[in-house]
Amino acid sequence: MLVCIPEVLPKSEVAEFRRLMDGAEWEDGRSTAGAQSAMVKRNEQLPPDSELARALGRRIVSALTANPKFVAAAVPLQIFPPLFNRYVASGGHHFGIHVDNAVRGDHLTGLRIRTDLSITLFLAEPDEYDGGELVIEDTYGSHEVKLSAGDAVLYPSTSLHMVTPVTRGARVASFFWLQSMIRDAQARSMIYDLDTAIQALVERLGRDDPETVKLTGIYHNLIRYWAEV
């Protein structure tokens, strides 16, 4: 399941992020890559343990956990501290086809998660750079994703994916992972579809409609049945 989440951050906050990031020191992005990913990864990143990366990351997590669409799609249990990367045309930056590590650990907090879902939050507008599409492979083929600054995409960490070469400008983004309460991807997709349908009924019939109340109960009972907490 691939879900786009618009306006996670407003444009004003994106501009503030970019101002702070542009004045920071960047390092080789391979420092956080696994053995296989490091062979195909060419980009820059903010030092993950830096005060700036941690502060900006906390703001992203706060915005996401307040976003109903994100919560509905992810049913998050643990969110890994967001990382930040930059693909610059002059550096020939790209990220070849790879799959994310199954487990990620953060040595500063001791957090250790199973990576169920991957997230990319775009921090550059599409017209700021050429190339740099996030290409995600699934059973229905390849999907190219290039969203507006402030928008995010959520997709299974089991997916093969890549970032195409940036040929003009710079692609700036935050990327990270989460462990969902609902481990099974098919169950998580059904939970999301059910939640979306319930919200549509609420708009039409009201929250106190008897059938809406009944479906809401089914939703919560399915969460109760499938959740790992």
Both 90 and 152 in one domain: the answer is yes
Amino acid of residue 172: V
Both 71 and 156 in one domain: the answer is yes
Known binder of ligand: residue 171? yes
- pLDDT at residue 8 tops 70: yes
Q: Is 171 helix (H, G, I), strand (E, B) or coil?
A: strand
Q: Which of 144, 162, 180 is the last residue of a domain?
A: 180
Average pLDDT of the chain, as a whole number = 95
- pLDDT computed for residue 34 by the predictor: 66
List the domain range (segments joined by +) for residue 59.
Answer: 3-180
Q: Is 16 helix (H, G, I), strand (E, B) or coil?
A: helix
Tens of pLDDT along 34-65?
A: 666 778 889 999 999 999 999 999 999 999 99
Residue from 139, 138, 183, 189 nearest 161 by CA: 138
Residue whose structure tokens are 């956990």: 65
Known binder of ligand: residue 161? yes
Q: Which helix H or strand E contains 157, and what residues bound it? A: none
Return d(Cα 72, Cα 54) in angstroms, integer.
Answer: 25
Categorise residue 205: left if φ over 0, alpha if ψ from -120 to 50, beta otherwise. Answer: alpha
Give 121's strand partners: 152, 174
Residues of the chain above pLDDT 90, percent: 91
- pLDDT at residue 179 tops 70: yes
Amino acid of residue 59: R
- pLDDT computed for residue 39 by the predictor: 80
Both 174 and 192 in one domain: the answer is no
Residue 33: which pLDDT band, with cuts at 50, 70 and 90? low
Q: Is 113 helix (H, G, I), strand (E, B) or coil?
A: strand
Both 114 and 190 in one domain: the answer is no
How many residues are present in the chain? 229
Both 192 and 102 in one domain: the answer is no
Query: Half-sphere exposure of 189 toward its Cβ, with a 13 Å CA cutoff?
Result: 8
Both 81 and 193 in one domain: the answer is no
Mean pLDDT of 74-103: 96
Q: How far is CA 132 from CA 23, 29, 124, 184, in A?
A: 22, 15, 11, 30
Measure the CA angle with vertex 164, ends 158 and 170; round to 5°: 120
- pLDDT computed for residue 30 by the predictor: 80
Known binder of ligand: residue 98? yes
Both 129 and 104 in one domain: the answer is yes
**What is the number of domains present in the chain?**
2
Both 157 and 62 in one domain: the answer is yes
Tens of pLDDT along 116-170?
A: 999 999 999 999 999 999 999 988 889 999 999 999 999 999 999 999 999 999 9
> Do the beta carbons of residue 118 and residue 134 sit within 8 Å?
no
- Per-residue b or e along 42-56, where b marks 16 or more CB atoms closer than 10 Å to that residue's CB: bbbbbbbeeebbbeb
Q: How far is CA 209 from CA 53, 148, 155, in A?
A: 45, 37, 33
Return d(Cα 124, Cα 148) in angstroms, integer.
Answer: 7
Both 86 and 119 in one domain: the answer is yes
CATH code of the domain containing 114: 2.60.120.620
Return d(Cα 176, Cα 120) in angstroms, integer.
Answer: 7
Both 125 and 98 in one domain: the answer is yes
Return d(Cα 220, Cα 165) in angstroms, integer.
Answer: 43
Both 157 and 198 in one domain: the answer is no
Mean pLDDT of 97-115: 95
Both 31 and 54 in one domain: the answer is yes
